[in-house]
Chain A
């Protein structure tokens, strides 16, 4: 196991009460594998990533039974120790490439910065050469000239390529891609996803692909885990989750996509009634029960746990096959 997380809990103390943002999150990821994490806004996708990168704000209260990367405990690391891992072993691509790059420095310098920190064995000239090589690898034409550009001179797709070059500079073992293509057009999204796939295959890198777009994970992830209100509610291979979902929430999400089940013109789209719960006032029992069409008494009184099969689901009354 490259990354092994067991019963991760994340709480925030706020003036309006305690927010239990992540509750008993367990998952693992193997070398070379792509794990897709899907869920609606506010389900805890992004904060999970920040926890894995050691980028949580000071107000966060993180606890876990296990949070191991290559057998190394990440839980109680000091900032200095994090700096050695971050960017070198675990790297991240952020959602909005236009704002994630520093507007004051050339993109070449920003990539070099990562190398300067983690590749002490390279001389200044070697680093420069390596930057050009990286830019070339991510498909940027005329890398020598482009390295001198500033972020505002590049298009969204190009900026995202620079972000990827920055992330893969030190050949990380795990790449976290947080909505890497949400801000991009479909044809550019297609190019970027293909690029990520190629790099992943070449470097045998593991990838966490976080997105709200079910189509993107269906096409790109090996395994998918669905999150709701800070919990994993379903996890399995992408085929299982997309084509034979067991949790009513996953089913509901898939059905509400236009062009899924009933593709006839102007057909009424099924939707999930209600809204995501306020994490300060979580419902008792299953978090999804107020919106679930299958909800029974048991669902409000006790909390379902992920079962231990290959295709995991946390539901008392999972959907039957098909």
Chain B
């Protein structure tokens, strides 16, 4: 197991003067495991905790509770540079995640300059090497980010994340800001790099088709909790949780054999005031009285874990 996350929690206290303080449970007891060179796809709607999960793993947000182990070592026991070379991240928006005042090679080699004692010259050479790896011409090393197109910028972001030879790469919606034809190029690149460098991916996306294409395991989240988690074939081809079913049905597709369906009603409840019992029960087509009272736990059913009483 390259990555083991257990009971990860991230709670944000909301304090307002003269008002009762509240607690937003952005992540509430998330556990999963990823094997080396595999991809875990994380899906869910905005506000379900996908990005908080990424930040908590990157230690950009301090976690409230739970443990994160990389290669059986608790991350808090790792030194800073060991941790950084174990896990890196690609961001969603290639337009705002690159410093406009830095040249391409400076952007890519910044992690090297900070975490190693290499000279500038060596860093420059390494940056050129990385650029070539992600399909950018090394002559472009002296350019600023605005001189690149969206797809090329995302490649820069990938090169920067690879600079420290990480084992795990967190991809937070890496292709959402790109056009379809460019999206395919970047996905191809990610798949090639995975085979070549033995990378492990945590792939966050709201696009089910993309996730289905490259993930070995799928984790479906709703309001900070896992609702279904299992191998790709199980979760996509025979989903059990009503929320997973709804997500798949509502995802637009070009295939001819898609059935007519009714959209599920309602919206994601406010995390400040989550419903009692199962968080999904108010929108759920098969909810019973019990769902409003008890919270279902993740249970293994038909080769995957699912949190629902009714399946």
Which residues of A approach B to under 8 Å, CB–CB?
A: 40-41, 155, 157-158, 185-191, 194, 212-216, 218-219, 242-243, 252-254, 256-260, 263, 265-272, 275
Contact = CB atoms under 8 A, between A and B. Distances in A.
A243 B254 CA distance: 8
A256 B209 CA distance: 11
Given A218-B252, A258-B212, A269-B213, 12 more contacts: A41-B179, A155-B267, A155-B268, A157-B267, A185-B46, A188-B267, A190-B249, A191-B263, A215-B252, A257-B180, A259-B209, A265-B232
A213 B252 contact: yes
Contacts of A268: 188, 191
B184 A269 contact: yes
A254 B253 CA distance: 11
Contact of B188 (A190, A254, A271): A271
Contacts of B213: 258-259, 263, 265-267, 269
B96 to A, nearest CB: 16
A93 B181 CA distance: 26
A212 B232 CA distance: 27
B263 A194 contact: yes
Contacts of B35: none
Contact of A271 (B185, B206, B212): B185
B180 A219 contact: no
B246 interface: yes
Interface in B236-250: 246-247, 249-250
Contact of B254 (A187, A212, A218, A270): A218
B179 A186 contact: no
Nearest to B186: A271
B307 to A, nearest CB: 18
Interface of B: 45-46, 149, 151, 179-185, 187-188, 191, 206-210, 212-214, 232, 246-247, 249-256, 258, 263-265, 267-268
Given A243-B256, A258-B213, A271-B184, A185 B45 contact: yes
18 contacts: A186-B45, A186-B208, A187-B246, A188-B45, A189-B252, A214-B254, A218-B254, A219-B258, A253-B181, A257-B184, A258-B187, A258-B209, A258-B213, A259-B209, A260-B254, A263-B213, A270-B184, A271-B184
A222 to B, nearest CB: 16
Contact of B180 (A40, A189, A263, A275): A40
Given A266-B213, A275-B149, A190 B263 contact: yes
Contacts of A215: 209, 251-254
- B184, B249, B258 — most chain A CB neighbours (10 Å): B184
B216 to A, nearest CB: 8
A267 B210 CA distance: 12
A219 B252 contact: yes
Contacts of B212: 258-259
B274 to A, nearest CB: 15
A5 to B, nearest CB: 25
A215 B179 CA distance: 14
A271 B232 CA distance: 24
Contacts of B183: 256
A272 B254 CA distance: 19
Nearest to A291: B181
A252 B181 contact: yes
Contacts of B208: 186
A258 B210 contact: yes
Contacts of A270: 184
Contact of A187 (B45, B180, B185): B45
A218 B255 CA distance: 9
A270 B249 CA distance: 25
Contacts of B180: 40, 212, 214, 253, 256-257
A205 B263 CA distance: 22
A229 to B, nearest CB: 13
Contacts of B253: 215, 218-219, 259
Nearest to A274: B181
A79 B59 CA distance: 55
Nearest to A220: B252
Contact of A269 (B151, B187, B232, B256): B187
Contact of B181 (A157, A213, A271): A271
Nearest to A38: B180
Nearest to B39: A266
Nearest to B185: A271
4 A-B pairs with least C-beta separation: A215-B252, A190-B250, A256-B184, A258-B213
B243 to A, nearest CB: 9
A260 B265 CA distance: 28
Nearest to A243: B256
B181 A187 contact: no
Contacts of B209: 215, 257-259
A130 to B, nearest CB: 25
A185 B252 contact: no
Contacts of A213: 252
B268 A185 contact: yes
Given A266-B191, A269-B187, A254 B254 contact: yes
